[in-house]
Amino acid sequence: MDHTPDSFRKAYDILQRHAETLRRQDEPNIDELLDIVNESVQAYKICKERIEAVEKALEKALEDPDLPETPTAPDTAPDPDDDADIPF
């Protein structure tokens, strides 16, 4: 069981698999628990590193002064005092 995942997807799959294994057990299998914990910690670290890298990249991209500004929608709210479109 001792392999380090090389991608977020693989690490996330490991975490899901171990969570499901632990959920299905009536009582934990102590012989496998240490391996499950160690592999889960490794997988968690990979996921956390990838998420933090994406967050930093997004922050940098959103702060980039070369990005075009998002145009704002014109104010299209109806004028409450305008009765021109009321048919009666």
Q: What is the pLDDT of residues 23-82, one digit of tens each?
A: 999 888 888 999 999 999 999 999 999 999 999 999 999 987 676 666 666 656 556 566
Predicted structure pTM score: 0.63
Question: Is the pLDDT at 3 greater than 60, yes or no?
Answer: yes
Amino acid at 29: N
Q: What would the mean pLDDT of 1-17 be, rounded to a whole number?
A: 86
> 37: helix, coil or strand?
helix
Of 1 and 15, the structure prediction assigns the larger pLDDT to: 15
Q: In the prediction, which pLDDT does 42 show?
A: 96
